[in-house]
Amino acid sequence: WQAAPRDNKSIIEPVTLVDGADNSAKASSSKDQPPFREVKYILEVQANSELLTDRAEESLIKFVKSAPSQSDFEVLIEGYTASDKNTQANIDLSYKRALLVKKLLVEHGIPAERIVATGRGIENPVATNNTSEGRRKNRRVEVSIIPK
């Protein structure tokens, strides 16, 4: 599986291997497809919106086009918000962000039954919410590609 090209304006953090262990035991039984490891993409979203930035959406579409033809992976999508209060509005917005990414993946050929989307609100901040840069980083959608 080839990762989509990184663009620091659309993917906040570099594409990272979530676990460095060899997942070849979990790899596809197809001899044509190489084994792959869990990969996480972190996509930037617009402030006060469920919409991805233009560059994040472009990166996501490039990623989908490079997706493996093998069927032994699942996708976990987690939406987040930047705020100091875990209100229902933040949870709803984070869920809308995750659903938008799911919709884009399905539109580009990833079967919906392989995708789980959830909204996490302000959980798991990656930066402080005391600065605009920190809030920008916390306003995100994480997409994890998980081998079965």
State the pTM of this model.
0.74
The residue written with tokens 């302000």 in the block is: 122
Q: Distance between CA 125 and CA 135 in Å, rounded?
A: 9
123: left (phi over 0), alpha (psi -120 to 50) or beta: beta
At 112, list the tokens. 């919906």
User: What does each of the 148 residues of the chain score in pLDDT, given as a tens digit?
Assistant: 333 333 333 333 333 333 333 333 333 334 455 556 778 889 999 988 999 999 998 888 887 777 666 567 899 999 999 976 778 999 999 999 999 999 999 998 889 999 999 999 999 999 999 999 999 999 999 999 888 8
